[in-house]
Chains A and B, each alone.
Chain A
Amino acid sequence: MTHGYLSPTGLEIAFVLVGLVTLGSGLLVVTIKNLVYAALWLIVCMGSIGIEYLLLSAELLAWVQMLIYGGAIIVLFLFGLMLTRAPIGPTEELNVRNRWPAAIVGLGAAGTLVTVIVQAYQHTWFDPRDAVSLGTGQALGSQLFKYWVLPFELLSVLLLAALVGAIVLSASGRHASGVEEEED
């Protein structure tokens, strides 16, 4: 049975529509002049990527994506914007100088990747509903602890190292700024 591009299934239509939302909000994240709005559009982008995971039948990952990206990481970004006293209003000089070289690199990467992918996977067809049983919490958990225990433990060490690193960085920063304030 062949599947043409001219008669899309409902799943494909939904995927493309959510994909357009993802791309539009992603473009706004990198081009909008107001940094706080960029962080808020990042929520839309991450949420729609979560919906794409659901459409690809990665159920647990969709919720993890919503929780970690839509929640925790955006809050971190907003705190970072607040603590560095980033300009809240629109700023003109956000991306002036490097805009055209960066656009050329981005368009070149997009063109190359899309050409290669279309050439390579033109005739590949899959049904995401066949993979539903792979994306449940039960399946993912059993695979994680059956086959991927060692990377999992390694990741916990990495998280600990990141925690210690962040504490060391912020503690030494407080010391340096304290010295500067005394000098002032």
Chain B
Amino acid sequence: MHAVYPLVLGALLFAIGLYGVLARRSAIAVLMAIELLLNAVTLNLVSFGAILRDQYGMGQIFTLFIITIAAAETGLGLAIVLLLYRQRATADLGEQRELAEPVERFDADELLFSGETRGRGAAS
């Protein structure tokens, strides 16, 4: 098999995932596009593993590791998206204009600690 076929497939899949990450506005759709990106990378690893055939089996072992990390990343990402939805009632990334926590949730001493900027932000 020519090495070009799997490598070009991985590159095109990566480009599709890049488009998805940039174009989608729903946070969960962005997470799906990130899965596409990770799969493009693992496809590259597997094909280089088959091309080079090193004695440590690096390509396939790293693919196993990446699949594990992707599972952990998806779980944590979805937990964050659910938290975002509970606090803001939307998971739309275009609507998230401010990343600071709401001012009311800070304790008094934390407000004192950085009172200047936050107080100004709340007043405006």
With A124-B2, A126-B3 already in contact, the answer to whether A155 and B65 are too (CB < 8 A) is yes
Is B113 close to A, CB under 8 A? Answer: no
Contact in complex: A97, B1 (CB < 8 Å): no
Q: Which bucket holds chain A's interface residue count? A: 35 or more
0/1 string, B72-92, CB within 8 A of A gives 1 = 111110111111011100010
Q: How far is the CB of B25 from chain A (nearest CB, A)?
A: 6
Q: Which of A9, A30, A35, A49 contacts B20 (CB 8 A)?
A: A30
Contact in complex: A113, B64 (CB < 8 Å): no
Contact in complex: B15, A113 (CB < 8 Å): yes
Taken together as a complex, chains A and B put the C-alpha atoms of A98 and B33 apart, in Å, by: 15
Mark out the residues of chain B between 5 and 22 whose CB falls within 8 Å of any chain A CB in the assembled complex: 5-9, 11-20, 22
Contact in complex: B4, A121 (CB < 8 Å): yes
Q: How far is the CB of B56 from chain A (nearest CB, A)?
A: 5
Q: Which of B9, B56, B82 contacts A80 (CB 8 A)?
A: B82
Is B69 close to A, CB under 8 A? Answer: yes
Q: Which of A11, A16, A19, A57 has the most CB of B within 10 A?
A: A19
Contact in complex: B43, A52 (CB < 8 Å): yes
Contact in complex: A46, B28 (CB < 8 Å): no
Nearest CB to that of A143 among chain B residues? B57
> Which residues of the other chain, A, contact B63 by a CB distance below 8 angstroms?
58, 61
> Which residues of the other chain, B, contact A151 by a CB distance below 8 angstroms?
65
With A80-B81, A166-B76, A169-B83 already in contact, the answer to whether A9 and B19 are too (CB < 8 A) is no
Q: Which of A106, A118, A139 contacts B15 (CB 8 A)?
A: A106
Residues of B within 8 A of A (CB): 1-9, 11-20, 22-29, 31-33, 35-36, 39, 42-43, 46-47, 49-51, 53, 56-57, 60-61, 63-65, 67-76, 78-83, 85-87, 91, 94, 105
Going nearest first, the 3 A-B pairs with the smallest beta carbon separation are A30-B20, A106-B19, A102-B22
Residues of A within 8 A of B (CB): 3, 5, 9, 11-12, 15-16, 19, 22-23, 26-27, 29-30, 35, 38-39, 42, 45-46, 49, 52-53, 56-58, 60-61, 64-65, 68-69, 72-73, 76-77, 79-81, 83-86, 93-95, 97-99, 101-103, 105-107, 109-110, 113-114, 117-118, 121-122, 124-128, 130-131, 134-135, 139-140, 143-144, 147-148, 151, 155, 158-159, 162-163, 165-166, 169-170, 172-173, 176-177
Can you spell out 25 A-B residue pairs with CB atoms less than 8 angstroms apart? A15-B6, A19-B5, A26-B36, A29-B16, A30-B17, A30-B20, A42-B35, A69-B67, A69-B70, A77-B74, A84-B28, A93-B25, A94-B29, A103-B23, A110-B11, A113-B15, A114-B11, A131-B49, A134-B49, A140-B57, A155-B65, A158-B69, A158-B72, A162-B76, A170-B82
